Every structure is written in structure tokens, then in C-alpha cells.
Amino acid sequence: MKIKVKRNTILLVLLTFLIVLNGCNWLKKTDSEPEKTYKIGFAMATLREERWRRDRDYFSERIKELHAEVLFQNANNDHDQQMRQVEYLLSQKIDVLVLVPQNLEAAAYAVQMAKKAGVKVISYDRLIRNSNLDLYISFDNIKVGEYMAEYMVGQLPRGHYVIINGAPTDNNCYMFNQGYKNVFNNYIKNNKIEIVFEGWAEDWRPEQAYQYIQTLLAQGKTFDAVIAANDALASAVIEALSEWRLAGKVLVAGHDADLSGCQRIVEGTQLLTIYKPIRQLAYRAADLALALAQGKEIKTNYEPIFNGKHFIPSEIINPIPIDKNNIDIIIKDNFHRTEDIYLNLPKDKWPKENGKS
């Protein structure tokens, strides 16, 4: 009986030893192989406009929530600088490159560099042409143009129009333009509206939009409405119009729902802007970037988009047209505050809350 107890005791001691030993080995393995922190590179074309600073901040916010890391670069609308920045990001051993291209065609080289390094690429908000992208995420940019044009002709079904497009190196501008023309073509065909001038703003420069309007007015040209491809261009248009005492008399549309654009809408000098839920875009892009980094299969909500050479998986978010009647959407979404939008108006012109002005 005593011998049996000793044997059982020895077996119990050996079993305990083995458990402890395996536990130590597991702990040692855990200490030596920590969970990987994924690194995302975000190469941005510019941070000049308010909206791009929001993209950066929201993307960073979401990436931190996902316990990943993001490295940002800003090219200041310089293609060569952006290519150098992409090279730098790749040297930092990023897992995914998120790219807002400064040049829709030339940025294909950045995609080639990333692919050579085994890095997946997301084309963010602007489509990169003729490149083997892993994902394109943006808003419905044709719908942006259609909303702007539909609202304009709803207010002014007959008249003379000016179109000021954005940068010719930005694919979105061609999509906006397609949206305008989808609406305008029948009106033009039926001689209801006439496009008296159409121009492009290199690198989205507002001063070029300003100069276009100044030149047209100095030449004695008359027009009733201006579609500007974003709120920064719309601001320059309205500045030029104000110098001729035409601000508020000529209808102006922009897009991006910048604070200054929203202020001009309630003040009466800008008719319309287009709100893009940037937080939704940036958060979804961060989620998909991490999924790509982890090698997971991604599911998108839209049909693949052809970029001239490849069909690219696409995630598309709907924009929202905003005028003075529904600007509360901006406020309820915490995009801008009431006191900021109505800053330049007396308090009695502010919206009523709970029955009080």
C-alpha cells in the first residue's frame, strides 16, 4: 500500500512539473513573439482644404481604435514629392498603402512600387487610373455632379451657366463633370440653358477660379449661375462676384460642406453645397485597410469600377445635397456647430430650438 502511494505521488509530481514546464515555454514564446501591430501608410495629395484635414483626423482616430499604426505624408499637390513620400513609406515596412493621388495617371507608378514591395494599395477618394489596385473607396462622385446640376436647374431652368471644374489631374473632377452633363444635356439641346464658359482650376487653385470670373465680367459677359467643383473654388467665385456687386444675385454651387461654404449658404451668397460624410468614409477605409493587412477577404458594397486597365473592388458612400432648408443635417451629424455656421448673422436669424429663437 505504501509503495502504491509513493508511485502515485511520483507520477503526480512529474505531471505537475511537465505542466509548469510547458507553461513556462508558452510564456517564453508569448514574450518573444508579441502580437503584430499592423502599419498603414497614408499618402495624401494635400491638406490645404478643410475636408482633407478631417479625412486625416478621422482615419487616425479609427486606426488607433483598431490598435494599428498609421504614418501620414502630405505632398502639397506636388506629384514628384508624393512619389518620394511613397518610397519613404514603403521603406518603413508598411503593410498597406492608402493613397490620395495628386495625379490620376502618374500615380500608377506608386502602385507599381508598392506591389513590387508586396504592399497592398487602396485608392482613397480619388481613383488612380491604369493600375492594379486592391481597393477603391470614395463617394458617388457622379451623383455629386448630378445633385449640383439638378438643384441649379430646379432654381434656374433657363439661363446662362458657367462651370469651373477642379484639377484636371483629379479623376473625381471628370466624374463630377459627367454628373453635370447628365443633367444639363437635355436643357442645352432644348436651348433652355447655355454654358457660356467652362474652365479647369489647376491643382484646385481658388485664385484661378477668381480670375476666370473677373475676366468674364471685365469682358462684359453675363451669366446667371456658376457651378464650382468645391467650396474653395466657390469662395473665390463669390469673392470675384462681390467686387462687381453680384454676390447673391448670381447662383453659385460648391461641394464639400466646408464651414465657409455653409456660412455662405445661410448668408445667401451660395446656393448649395454637397455634404460628404467623411467620418464614414475614413472609418470604413481604416477598417478595410486593416482587413487587407491581415490578409482577410473583404466585401464591398458596390460593383467593381474599371480604371482603364483593371476592374477594382469598390466601396461607395452616398453624398447629401445641402441648402439653407436642410443644413441642420450638418449640425446633427456634428460636422459643424450651429454657432459656427451662423457666426456672421444676428441671433434672431439663427434657427429656433425647442420653440425658442
In the chain, where the domains are located: 39-133+278-317, 141-276+321-345
Q: What is the CATH number of domain 39-133+278-317?
A: 3.40.50.2300
Q: What confidence score (pLDDT) does residue 28 get?
A: 46
Q: What confidence score (pLDDT) does residue 36 get?
A: 87
pLDDT in tens, the chain (357 residues): 444 445 555 555 455 554 444 554 544 444 555 678 999 999 999 999 999 999 999 999 999 999 999 999 999 999 999 999 999 999 999 999 999 999 999 999 999 999 999 999 999 999 999 999 999 999 999 999 999 999 999 999 999 999 999 999 999 999 999 999 999 999 999 999 999 999 999 999 999 999 999 999 999 999 999 999 999 999 999 999 999 999 999 999 999 999 999 999 999 999 999 999 999 999 999 999 999 999 999 999 999 999 999 999 999 999 999 999 999 999 999 999 999 999 999 999 999 864 444
- Which single residue is written with the C-alpha cell 434657427? 351
Residue 299: phi and psi, rounded to 5, are -115, 130
Q: What confidence score (pLDDT) does residue 87 get?
A: 98
Q: Do residues 203 and 77 lie in contact, with contact meaning Cβ atoms separated by under 8 Å?
A: yes
Q: Do residues 259 and 50 lie in contact, with contact meaning Cβ atoms separated by under 8 Å?
A: yes
Strand partners, 135: 122
Q: Do residues 166 and 172 lie in contact, with contact meaning Cβ atoms separated by under 8 Å?
A: yes
Q: Do domains 39-133+278-317 and 141-276+321-345 have the same CATH topology?
A: yes
Q: What is the separation of C-alpha 124 from the centre of its chain, rounded to a whole number of angstroms? A: 7
* Signed CA dihedral, 149, 155, 159, 161: sign only: negative
In SS3 terms, the chain reads as: CHHHHHHHHHHHHHHHHHHHHHHHHHHHHHHHCCCCCCEEEEEECCCCCHHHHHHHHHHHHHHHHCCCEEEEEECCCCHHHHHHHHHHHHHCCCCEEEECCCCCCCCHHHHHHHHHCCCEEEEECCCCCCCCCCEEEEECHHHHHHHHHHHHHHHCCCEEEEEEECCCCCHHHHHHHHHHHHHHHHHHHCCCEEEEEEEECHHHCHHHHHHHHHHHHHCCCCCCEEEECCHHHHHHHHHHHHCCCCECCEEEECCCCCHHHHHHHHHCCCCEEEECCHHHHHHHHHHHHHHHHCCCCCCCCEEEEECCCCEEEEEEECCEEECCCCCHHHHHCCCCCHHHHCCCCCHHHCCCECCEC
Model-level pTM? Answer: 0.87
Which CATH number is correct for 141-276+321-345, 3.90.1150.10, 3.40.50.2300, 3.40.50.300, 3.90.870.40?
3.40.50.2300
Q: What confidence score (pLDDT) does residue 357 get?
A: 42
Residue 72: phi and psi, rounded to 5, are -100, 150
Q: What confidence score (pLDDT) does residue 35 get?
A: 78
Residue 195: phi and psi, rounded to 5, are -85, 105
Q: Do residues 237 and 172 lie in contact, with contact meaning Cβ atoms separated by under 8 Å?
A: no
- Which single residue is written with the C-alpha cell 431652368? 157
Q: Do residues 268 and 323 lie in contact, with contact meaning Cβ atoms separated by under 8 Å?
A: no
Q: What confidence score (pLDDT) does residue 22 get?
A: 54
Nearest to 47 by CA among 97, 95, 102, 84: 102
d(CA 231, CA 225): 15
- Which single residue is written with the C-alpha cell 487587407? 292
- Which single residue is written with the C-alpha cell 471644374? 165
d(CA 148, CA 252): 10
Q: How many CB atoms lie within 10 A of CB 202?
A: 13
